[in-house]
Structure 1
Amino acid sequence: MADRPSTSKSASKDEGGPEKVTQLKKGTVGKRINIETNYLRLTITPPLVPNSSVSKIYMYDVYIYPPTSANRNELRLRPQRRTAFWTAVRNHYQVFGDESYLVYDDGRRLYSRSKLYPLLVDEDNPKPIENELEWDFEYTYKERPFKAFIKIIPTGSFRLTATETRHNQEQPRFLNCLLTQCLRLTEQPNLPNSQFSLNDLWFCVKRCVYRVPFDAFYEPVELGNCAVLLHGLRCDVKYDSNGRPLFNVKLASAVFAKVNLDLIDFYATVVNQAHLSEADLIRLHEYGMNDAQAQRMTDALRGLSLKTKHSNLHKKCIGLVKEHSRNYRFEHPQFGPMTVEEYFLHVYRRRLQYPYMPLVQVHPPSPLILFPMELLTISDEVQMINKRLPLNIRAKIAEQTSFLPPQYFDRIAHLLLNSTMLDNKVSSSFGLQFQQKFLQLEGRVLAKPKLYYQYAAEGLCEPANERFYFVLICLNDAYFDAIGRTVWELVKICRDKRMNIKDLSPVHHIEFGLNGNIRQLKSELQSTLKLVKEGCKPLFIVIKEDEDTNGYEAVKTTLDQQGHISQFIKKSNAIQMAGRNQSIMKSLVLKLNSKLGGLNNKVIDCHDWQKFTTTPTLIVGVDTIRAARNDDMPSVVGVTGSIDDTFARYSSGFCIFDPDEEYVPELDTLILNAIDAFAQHIKKAPKHIILLRGGLSDSQYDNVAKVEFGALGDACRRFEERYPTEFSRSNPFNPTVTYLIVSRKHSTRFKMETIPRGDRYNGNVPSGTVVDSVIAGKKDYYLCSHNGLLGTSRPAYYEMMYDTWRLTGDNLQSFMYSLCHLVGRSRLPVSIPAPLYYADLLCRRVCTYIHTEKRQNSGSLDYDSIRVEDSLKKLLYFA
Structure 2
Amino acid sequence: MSVKVTDFVKRPGVGREGRPLKVRANFFEVTSLPDSNVHHYDVTITPEVPPSLNRKIYCEFEALNENILATARPVFDGRKNIYSPKPLSFGENDAATFDITLPEDDGAPLGKRPPRAFKVKIKKAAVINMEELHRFLDGKCKSSPNILTGIMALDVLIRHKPSMMHVTHKDDEIMYATVGRSFYTNQISQSLFGGAEVWQGYYQSARPTPKKMMINVDVSATAFYESGSLVQMVVKLLNKRHPDDLRRGIPDRDRVKLEKSLKNVKIRVTHRENASKRSFKIVKLTNTAANATKFEIEGKKTDVASYFQKTYKRPLQFPFLPCVVVRKDTSLPIEVCEVVKGQRHIRKLNERQTADMIKFTCQQPHVRANKIMQGLDILNYRENEYMRQFGLQVSEEMAVVPARVLPAPKIQYHPSSRDAAFTPKDGSWNLRDKKVATGATLGSWACVVFGNFEMQAVQHFIRELVNTCQDTGMNIPNKNPPIVQGNPQGNIEQMLRQAWVKAGNMSKSPPQLIVCILPNTGVPLYAEIKRVSDTVIGVATQCVQSKHIFQAKKQYCANVCLKMNVKLGGMNSFIEPSQVPFISQRPTILMGADVTHPAPGGDESRPSIAALCASMDAKASRYAASIRVQAGRQEIISDLSGMVKELLKTFYQTCGRKPERILFYRDGVSEGQFEQVLDFEIEAVRNACASLDANYKPTITFVIVQKRHHARFFPIDKRDSDRTGNCLPGTVVESVITHPFEFDFYLQSHAGLQGTSRPTHYHVLYDENRFNADSLQKLSYHLCYVFARCTRSVSLVPPVYYAHLVCSRARFHSRNENWSDQDSESGGSVSSYGMVKPDLQKVIIFFNGEQKKHH
TM-score (norm 1): 0.85
2:639 alignment counterpart: 666
2:122 alignment counterpart: 152
Given that 2:444 and 2:509 are in contact with CA atoms closer than 8 Å, whether structure 1 keeps it comes out as no
1:133 alignment counterpart: 97
2:551 alignment counterpart: 576
Q: 1:62 to 1:197 in 2, by over 3 A?
A: farther
In structure 1, distance between residues paired with 2:544 and 2:325: 41
Given that 2:663 and 2:701 are in contact with CA atoms closer than 8 Å, whether structure 1 keeps it comes out as yes
Which one-letter code corresponds to 2:163 in the other structure?
Answer: R
Q: Are 1:749 and 2:712 matched, yes or no?
A: yes
Q: 1:635 aligns with which of 592, 608, 615?
A: 608
1:26 alignment counterpart: 14
In structure 1, distance between residues paired with 2:315 and 2:34: 65
Q: 2:220 aligns with which of 252, 261, 281?
A: 252
1:175 alignment counterpart: 154
Look up the SS of the partner of 2:381 in the other structure.
coil
Q: Are 1:772 and 2:734 matched, yes or no?
A: yes
Q: Are 1:804 and 2:768 matched, yes or no?
A: yes
Q: Are 1:563 and 2:531 matched, yes or no?
A: no
Given that 1:587 and 1:825 are in contact with CA atoms closer than 8 Å, whether structure 2 keeps it comes out as yes
Q: Are 1:441 and 2:439 matched, yes or no?
A: no
Q: 1:266 aligns with which of 233, 244, 267?
A: 233
Which one-letter code corresponds to 1:497 in the other structure?
Answer: T
**CA shift for structure 1 position 621:** 0.6
State the Cα deviation string for residues 788-844 of structure 1 (Å, max 9, x = none). Answer: 131111111111111111111111111111111111111111010110110000000
**CA shift for structure 1 position 237:** 0.8
Q: Are 1:64 and 2:45 matched, yes or no?
A: yes
Note the 1:582-593 alignment, pairs <5 A: 582-593=554-565
State the Cα deviation string for residues 393-413 of structure 1 (Å, max 9, x = none). Answer: 212222221212111111111
Q: 1:289 aligns with which of 245, 250, 262?
A: 250
2:584 alignment counterpart: 613
State the Cα deviation string for residues 363-395 of structure 1 (Å, max 9, x = none). Answer: x6xx47543322222113x11212211112212
2:436 alignment counterpart: 461
Given that 1:308 and 1:377 are in contact with CA atoms closer than 8 Å, whether structure 2 keeps it comes out as yes
Q: 1:782 aligns with which of 746, 753, 768?
A: 746
**CA shift for structure 1 position 479:** 6.1
Gaps in structure 1 of 5+ consecutive residues: 1-17, 48-54, 66-72, 119-126, 189-195, 215-219, 722-731
Given that 1:468 and 1:539 are in contact with CA atoms closer than 8 Å, whether structure 2 keeps it comes out as no
In structure 2, distance between residues paired with 1:358 and 1:480: 48
**CA shift for structure 1 position 647:** 0.5
Note the 1:264-413 alignment, pairs <5 A: 264-276=231-243, 280=244, 284-285=246-247, 287-310=248-271, 311-312=275-276, 313-330=278-295, 332=296, 334-345=298-309, 350-362=314-326, 367=328, 370-380=331-341, 382-413=342-373
Which one-letter code corresponds to 1:36 in the other structure?
Answer: R
Q: 1:20 to 1:436 in 2, by over 3 A?
A: closer
Which one-letter code corresponds to 1:150 in the other structure?
Answer: V
Look up the SS of the partner of 1:182 in the other structure.
helix
Look up the SS of the partner of 2:732 in the other structure.
strand
Q: 1:145 to 1:510 in 2, by over 3 A?
A: closer
In structure 2, distance between residues paired with 1:853 and 1:203: 34
State the Cα deviation string for residues 201-227 of structure 1 (Å, max 9, x = none). Answer: 53221210122323xxxxx22211121
Note the 1:209-228 alignment, pairs <5 A: 209-214=183-188, 220-228=189-197
In structure 2, distance between residues paired with 1:477 and 1:551: 15
**CA shift for structure 1 position 862:** 5.1
Gaps in structure 2 of 5+ consecutive residues: 1-5, 108-113, 137-142, 414-418, 422-431, 821-825, 848-855
In structure 1, distance between residues paired with 2:170 and 2:121: 22
**CA shift for structure 1 position 63:** 2.5
Q: 1:679 to 1:406 in 2, by over 3 A?
A: same
In structure 1, distance between residues paired with 2:165 and 2:7: 49
Given that 1:139 and 1:147 are in contact with CA atoms closer than 8 Å, whether structure 2 keeps it comes out as no
Which one-letter code corresponds to 2:255 in the other structure?
Answer: A
State the Cα deviation string for residues 709-768 of structure 1 (Å, max 9, x = none). Answer: 1111111111226xxxxxxxxxx211101111111111111111211299x544321111
In structure 2, distance between residues paired with 1:272 and 1:860: 29
In structure 2, distance between residues paired with 1:519 and 1:835: 31
**CA shift for structure 1 position 419:** 3.9
2:424 alignment counterpart: none
Look up the SS of the partner of 1:151 in the other structure.
strand
1:13 alignment counterpart: none
Look up the SS of the partner of 2:591 in the other structure.
strand
Which one-letter code corresponds to 1:521 in the other structure?
Answer: M
Look up the SS of the partner of 1:552 in the other structure.
helix
CA-atom RMSD in angstroms: 2.8
1:531 alignment counterpart: 505
Q: 1:136 to 1:791 in 2, by over 3 A?
A: closer
Aligned residue pair count: 796
Q: 1:846 to 1:241 in 2, by over 3 A?
A: same
In structure 1, distance between residues paired with 2:830 and 2:151: 44
Look up the SS of the partner of 1:673 in the other structure.
helix
In structure 1, distance between residues paired with 2:25 and 2:203: 15
In structure 2, distance between residues paired with 1:877 and 1:30: 32
In structure 2, distance between residues paired with 1:421 and 1:863: 53
In structure 2, distance between residues paired with 1:845 and 1:501: 27
Given that 2:29 and 2:214 are in contact with CA atoms closer than 8 Å, whether structure 1 keeps it comes out as yes
Q: Which range is displaced more, 829-838 or 775-784?
A: 775-784
In structure 1, distance between residues paired with 2:115 and 2:614: 62
Which one-letter code corresponds to 1:301 in the other structure?
Answer: L
TM-score (norm 2): 0.87
Which one-letter code corresponds to 1:237 in the other structure?
Answer: A
Q: 1:328 to 1:573 in 2, by over 3 A?
A: same
**CA shift for structure 1 position 45:** 4.5
1:827 alignment counterpart: 791
1:117 alignment counterpart: 89
Which one-letter code corresponds to 2:484 in the other structure?
Answer: H
Q: 2:461 aligns with which of 471, 486, 502?
A: 486
In structure 2, distance between residues paired with 1:873 and 1:547: 25
**CA shift for structure 1 position 198:** 7.2
In structure 2, distance between residues paired with 1:356 and 1:31: 70
Given that 1:478 and 1:543 are in contact with CA atoms closer than 8 Å, whether structure 2 keeps it comes out as no
Q: Are 1:602 and 2:570 matched, yes or no?
A: no
Q: Are 1:513 and 2:488 matched, yes or no?
A: yes
Q: 1:131 to 1:211 in 2, by over 3 A?
A: closer
Q: 1:708 aligns with which of 681, 689, 700?
A: 681
Which one-letter code corresponds to 2:201 in the other structure?
Answer: G
Given that 1:37 and 1:438 are in contact with CA atoms closer than 8 Å, whether structure 2 keeps it comes out as yes
Q: 1:351 to 1:428 in 2, by over 3 A?
A: same
State the Cα deviation string for residues 581-615 of structure 1 (Å, max 9, x = none). Answer: 222111111111121111112001455x2232121
In structure 2, distance between residues paired with 1:877 and 1:505: 27
1:693 alignment counterpart: 666
**CA shift for structure 1 position 523:** 5.0
In structure 1, distance between residues paired with 2:292 and 2:105: 38
Q: 1:318 to 1:697 in 2, by over 3 A?
A: farther
In structure 2, distance between residues paired with 1:466 and 1:321: 60
Look up the SS of the partner of 1:58 in the other structure.
strand
In structure 2, distance between residues paired with 1:300 and 1:606: 57
Q: 1:442 to 1:151 in 2, by over 3 A?
A: same
